[in-house]
Structure 1
Amino acid sequence: MHIIINLQPLLTPLTGIGHYTRELTLALLAQPPEAGVTVEGITGRKREPLSLDHPLLQTQSGASIGASERDSPAWQLARRYLRNPLTRKLYRWMCTQRLQLTVGQQDALYWEPNYILLPWRGRSVVTVHDLSHERYPAFHPQERVRFFSQHLPESLARATRINVVSQFTADELQALHGIDPKRIDIVPPAVSSRFFVAPEGQQPQQLRHRYQLPERFLLSVGTLEPRKNLVNVLEAFAALPLKEQADSPLLLVGMQGWGEQTYSQRVQHAFQRGTIRRLGYVPSDDLPGLYALAAGFVYVSLYEGFGMPVVEAMAAGTPVLTANTTATTEVAAGAALEVSPHDVDAIREGLHRLVADSHDQRIKAGVTRAREFTWEASAERLLGSFTQALHSA
């Protein structure tokens, strides 16, 4: 089986799709020789055989273009290049030329981990992470909605098989696109083993010093964009008694996404007091320690196809407050506090419980749930999907 992977998600600082692409690519490369799996990657620049030591597959993926820091000029250039409609079209054309070199190879299969297939006449598998652009188009830039609306239906029609990250997303594909469930395979993301290891030695103190962490704090991780529901979450936090805010400030980790957020005066005062604080983009190596040091984790998104930070926080032994809708309730499986993402009062009460209640049983259940998600199991599912694609009629 010869697998060709579009590596575009690895060319900028890794968010959910980038981590998913990298970890599953590494798992494919780790298959024993007798499995007969070979892997190539394509970018707009070149197409090449992949190995475990490829620069784009290292812990700080994208480091070869300076992406370990979100303000890197090289990263900013790549981000603009891949988001601009004209240059992205050129990039897709360049990738297509490299992809077409394999046309006619009988055991070749193209895996697109990021929604939209490149033109390709062979067998293919496409991964769809969520359909938020259809359910909540206002939560995305108009150009992104146009691009997905134009290309996703055709991509779904051409794909030999379709992968999703949750049953929720599988249900969405059936509801919104009428996809036959027999064409869909669930291949969830997983939790790296490093999230289960408590910080030790000098690391906790180094993290506290590096990010000026208070003794006790709540943590939120995710790109700062409308879908993450930060307006409601911050409004709910700012409505807590001042002592509760001061005792457990809310720290926001994540790159600035699209769209300007408008906050109430109460929330702005919390920013000024420092009871709400932005840490910005954090290197992935620091995330396990930040999760573990947090008194609680807050992730009350309006829409998620999976919600990876929920599982990462549970793996680190941190109690979680999340939404009782879309995929996060499926992923948490009863191991987290759940509230309506639309109800500010409910979120405020959830935040209060997060800092006031005892969570021993919830933490234990969260760690157990998180251990169900492994990259080895996901890679086995992915290879099963590839095999079905190669042998389908």
Structure 2
Amino acid sequence: MRIAIDLRPALKKGTGVGTYVQNLVENLAQIDQENRYFLFSSSLRDRLPRERLSLPDNFSIKDYRIPVRVLNFLWHRYRFPPVDYLIGAVDITHSPHPLMMPAKKGKRIITIHDLFFWEYPEMTKGEIKRDYLTLAELHAHLADVIIAASENTKKDIIRLLKVPEEKVRVIYDGVAESFRHRLPSQSLAFLRKQFSLDGDYLLFVGTIEPRKNLVNLLRAFQGVVKRGFGGLKLVIVGERGWRTEEFDKELQSPELKGRVVLTGYLGPEELAGLYQAARMLTFPSLGEGFGLPLVEAMASGIPIIASDTSCIPEVVGDAAILVDPYNHKEIEQAICSLLTDTELAEKLTRRGLERSCRFSWKETAKQTLQLYRQIGGGG
């Protein structure tokens, strides 16, 4: 079979959908030497560093210097040019997001991680707000198969996009094996020095944007500091997104001065180190499709406090304290419980390590390849 995968989300820093598509491709390359893969890339400026993907001969990158916005406008509005015109005829196209790659022939697969943009459009912006809201339902019905990142997302797709249940397949995301490997103590010490972390700290990983609910996390952290944990810090790993005004205002609170560390985006090794040295992951997101930081934290051996919403209970099971994300007092109490109850923290850590073994990118790729073969006639 000839399979086209939209590689564009992986061109920039690896987060979210970009992490998904990069790990999917890397692991498909390890298990499939039979089919031909065409990794479609287009951007005026961004190029995928060759060292980020080591590919066998049956994988090729088709790279075009077409601005992403221009191509998306043409694809989303006019379904032109079909990807066949650019890379030749294909049997399957796979888009790692809700909007399809247009093709004259072949089966069409889309992956939907979440429908947060559909339920909370006021918390989105740009192309997602403009195109996803108007086109997601149409593309979901045109697709031959939809991959959902969780059972919760599958239910949302059926409920919100009115898609038949038999069209939706659940294939969980994975976790990189690097998170399971302990870094040398020297590396952890260097990270602590780099970010001025001379004591215990809480960790959050994700983009600074409204749906991550960081304002309530800051309010909860202030309460923790007032309870006598003045030496504690909160480390926020992730780039600034949009609508950060309320976050920035809360950050000016006197109790937070010198206690919140904003690292920006970090690469995999630095991120793994910050997980391993943290007291816990605090993840009060208002909605997720899978929640990569959850499995990364479990694999890293730290306990978790997370929201009781969307897919999060499905992913963490009994390996986390679940809280109402809208109640910062409840988040505060959960943090204090983990800080003072060593037995509870150790129990959640053990459960998390065990549960994290359910998720691997190799299994994600294996199930995706099975799907390709089922719908593409390859076995």
TM over 0.5: yes
- Post-superposition CA distance 1:145-188 (Å, at most 9, x none): 22102221221122111001100000000110121111111111
Q: 2:85 aligns with which of 100, 122, 135?
A: 100
Seen in structure 2, the aligned counterparts of structure 1 residues 342 and 349 have a Cα distance that, compared at 3 Å, is same
One-letter identity of the residue aligned with 1:387: R
Q: CA deviation at 1:142?
A: 5.6
Task: For 1:45 and 1:221, locate their aligned partners in 2 and report how far apart those are by CA, in whole Å.
Answer: 27
One-letter identity of the residue aligned with 2:15: T
Task: For 1:56 and 1:116, locate their aligned partners in 2 and report how far apart those are by CA, in whole Å.
Answer: 25
Q: CA deviation at 1:391?
A: 4.0
Question: Residue 3 of structure 1 aligns with which residue?
Answer: 3
Q: 2:53 aligns with which of 41, 54, 57?
A: 57
Q: CA deviation at 1:265?
A: 6.7
Seen in structure 2, the aligned counterparts of structure 1 residues 245 and 182 have a Cα distance that, compared at 3 Å, is same
Seen in structure 2, the aligned counterparts of structure 1 residues 56 and 353 have a Cα distance that, compared at 3 Å, is same
Q: CA deviation at 1:320?
A: 0.5
Question: Residue 277 of structure 1 aligns with which residue?
Answer: 261
Question: Residue 151 of structure 1 aligns with which residue?
Answer: 135
Question: Residue 27 of structure 1 aligns with which residue?
Answer: 27
Question: Residue 376 of structure 1 aligns with which residue?
Answer: 362
**TM, length-normalised to structure 2:** 0.87
Q: CA deviation at 1:280?
A: 1.3
Match runs of 1:91-240 below 5 Å: 96=81, 98-101=83-86, 104-105=89-90, 108-121=91-104, 122-141=106-125, 143-240=127-224
- Post-superposition CA distance 1:365-387 (Å, at most 9, x none): 00011111011211111112212
Conserved 8 A contact 2:83-2:101: no
Q: 1:323 aligns with which of 278, 291, 307?
A: 307
Q: CA deviation at 1:8?
A: 0.8
Q: 1:246 aligns with which of 200, 212, 230?
A: 230
Q: CA deviation at 1:310?
A: 0.8
Matched residues, number: 360
Q: CA deviation at 1:271?
A: 7.1
Task: For 2:17 and 2:251, locate their aligned partners in 1 and report how far apart those are by CA, in whole Å.
Answer: 31
Q: 1:313 aligns with which of 297, 318, 321?
A: 297
Q: CA deviation at 1:28?
A: 1.0
Structure 2: stretches of 5+ with no match in the other structure: 55-65
Task: For 2:24 and 2:363, locate their aligned partners in 1 and report how far apart those are by CA, in whole Å.
Answer: 10
Task: For 1:285 and 1:233, locate their aligned partners in 2 and report how far apart those are by CA, in whole Å.
Answer: 25
Q: 2:284 aligns with which of 282, 300, 310?
A: 300
Q: CA deviation at 1:97?
A: 5.1
Conserved 8 A contact 2:82-2:103: no
Seen in structure 2, the aligned counterparts of structure 1 residues 130 and 388 have a Cα distance that, compared at 3 Å, is same
Conserved 8 A contact 1:226-1:261: no
Q: CA deviation at 1:116?
A: 0.8
SS at match of 2:110: strand
The answer to which of 177-186 and 287-296 deviates more is 177-186
**TM, length-normalised to structure 1:** 0.85
SS at match of 1:252: strand
RMSD: 2.6
Task: For 2:255 and 2:205, locate their aligned partners in 1 and report how far apart those are by CA, in whole Å.
Answer: 17
Q: CA deviation at 1:199?
A: 1.7
Conserved 8 A contact 1:300-1:323: yes
SS at match of 1:251: strand
The answer to which of 85-94 and 147-156 deviates more is 85-94
One-letter identity of the residue aligned with 2:224: L
Question: Residue 386 of structure 1 aligns with which residue?
Answer: 372
SS at match of 2:230: helix
SS at match of 1:246: coil
Conserved 8 A contact 1:113-1:128: yes
- Post-superposition CA distance 1:25-74 (Å, at most 9, x none): 011111253xx22211111269xxx9xx944526xxxxxxxxxxxxxxxx
Task: For 2:362 and 2:50, locate their aligned partners in 1 and report how far apart those are by CA, in whole Å.
Answer: 20
One-letter identity of the residue aligned with 1:41: L
One-letter identity of the residue aligned with 1:362: L
Q: CA deviation at 1:270?
A: 4.7
Question: Residue 362 of structure 1 aligns with which residue?
Answer: 348
Question: Residue 57 of structure 2 aligns with which residue?
Answer: none
Seen in structure 2, the aligned counterparts of structure 1 residues 114 and 223 have a Cα distance that, compared at 3 Å, is same
One-letter identity of the residue aligned with 2:36: T
One-letter identity of the residue aligned with 1:375: W
Question: Residue 61 of structure 1 aligns with which residue?
Answer: none
Task: For 1:133 and 1:377, locate their aligned partners in 2 and report how far apart those are by CA, in whole Å.
Answer: 28
Task: For 2:10 and 2:249, locate their aligned partners in 1 and report how far apart those are by CA, in whole Å.
Answer: 39
Q: CA deviation at 1:220?
A: 0.5
Conserved 8 A contact 1:44-1:94: no
Seen in structure 2, the aligned counterparts of structure 1 residues 263 and 374 have a Cα distance that, compared at 3 Å, is closer
